[in-house]
Amino acid sequence: MDMYLYPWQHDLWTNIVRRHRKSGLPHALLVSGAGGIGKHNLSLNIARWLLCQSPAKNDYNEDACGQCHSCQLWAAGSHPDFMLCQPEEGSRQIRIDNVRKVNSMIFQTPQISQCQVVIIKPIDVMNTNAANALLKTLEEPPGESFLLLETERFGSVLPTIRSRCQRISLSIPAYEESLAWFIGTGVSEQDARRALQRNGNAPARAQQWLSSGIGEVQEQWVAQLMGWTKRQAQLGKVADAWLKLEFSDVITWFYHVSCDMMKMASSGDAGCAAEHLTFAEPVTEISGYVAVDKTKLITFQQKLQRILGQILSGAAHHNKSLTIEVLLLEWQELAIVRSGVSS
């Protein structure tokens, strides 16, 4: 697991350390921000530092020493005073049994360190029973424990949980800072720019997108969408290809394309700058081939948002094949081939 702090987190880290030195950190921290900017990495660094028995200090900062017994257990992934709580495999929700395990641990005496630390992610997928069980702990936290709650959707976190936490808000770093960091990891400038563009300028997500091969998969998806938009592909073949992909990825990518198309349609003759688009090149090409019905496009976007919300919350189970086919048909209906354009 990556444990270094990203450059755009250094100032925030210094503020966290200074606050802890001055008055101590609150027992519950809500770490929020967009996906792919290093929230979990920051939480892990905080946890390791809080658990460290001999933090390395200087005049303005400090960090885990990396040498003490606690740090050695952390490196081995077997620290008895740390727990990561997240949805179990095959589930999209944090359930009450998960929270009971958290409560069972943090109300015990620490075994190695001066405190115990639990990371819960993402806090916004916790079901009602689990949230109620956690609230009791947040209201009366044991003196030697810290809860780090992570979310990409701050507004979806229950107000009763938000009100009992101190928020740490992470912002997407400036584009040039992300680009410089990305190139510094050994990535070419061209690949770095493309990866950042496709991932909303979120550098950690862009790095994963490039290294995991998902970028190549996405390019194939784009090519299939282009073929369908230009009336050059068969519905069944495109739908079958998309069924082999992660359903949430398909819906997310389709949503970003629809947003880009709306930006292009609303920009008029002036056009829309590439840095404001997720799929700049394919959307520019599509816009030259089709005009969109903006009313239908808005309805289409709202439908995609609703499906995404249901996927994230686990609130509904979709017939993926039917959903994909219907979305493709609705896409062709709102994307009208321009007169005089041939395939």
Task: Give the CATH number, domain containing residue 158.
Answer: 3.40.50.300
The domain total for the chain is: 2
> What percentage of residues in the chain have a pLDDT greater than 70?
94
Based on the number of CB atoms within 10 Å of its own CB, is 49 exposed (0-12), middle (13-18) or buried (19 or more)? Answer: buried
Span 270-298, mean pLDDT?
86
- The single residue listed with the structure tokens 């936290």 is 141
To which residue do tokens 């405190």 refer?
115
Is residue 83 included in any domain, yes or no? Answer: yes
Whether residue 223 is contained in a domain is answered as yes
**Is 158 found in the same domain as 302?**
no
Full residue range of the structural domain in which residue 330 is found: 214-337
Verify that 116 and 223 share a domain, yes or no.
no
Say if residues 113 and 51 touch (Cβ distance below 8 Å). yes
Q: What is the pLDDT of residues 152-181, one digit of tens each?
A: 999 999 999 999 999 999 999 999 999 999
Q: Could you tell me if 276 and 130 lie in one domain?
A: no
* Beta strand pairing call for 166-170 and 145-151: unpaired
Cα distances (angstroms) measured from residue 72 to each of 68, 78, 126, 164, 337:
6, 9, 32, 32, 62
Looking at the structure, do residues 224 and 155 belong to the same domain, yes or no? no
Whether 21 and 125 share a structural domain:
yes
Of the candidates 255, 258, 256, 253, the one whose C-alpha atom is nearest the C-alpha of residue 214 is: 253
Sign of CA dihedral 116, 117, 118, 123: positive
The reply to whether 121 and 242 lie within a common domain is: no
Residue 185 belongs to a domain: no
Within-domain flag for 242: yes
Q: What is the mean pLDDT of residues 15-29?
A: 92
Q: What pLDDT score does 1 carry?
A: 44
Is residue 74 a part of any domain in this protein? yes
**Domain co-membership, 133 together with 46:** yes
Q: State yes or no: pLDDT of 271 exceeds 70.
A: no
Alpha helices in 24-113 (DSSP H): 39-51, 69-75, 96-106
- Whether residues 280 and 164 share a domain: the answer is no
Of the listed ranges 151-165, 178-192, 307-321, the one predicted with least confidence:
307-321
Is 56 in the same domain as 125? yes
Final residue before a domain boundary, out of 171, 190, 225: 171
Last residue of a domain, one of 171, 206, 236: 171
pLDDT in tens, 238-259: 999 999 999 999 999 999 999 9
Distance (Å, rounded) from C-alpha 296 to C-alpha 329? 12
Taking each continuous run of H as one helix and of E as one strand, the counts in the chain are 15, 9
Strands 56-57 and 62-63: antiparallel
Smallest CA-to-CA distance from 253 within 199, 213, 208 is with: 199
Q: What end-to-end distance do the CA atoms of the chain give, in Å?
A: 48
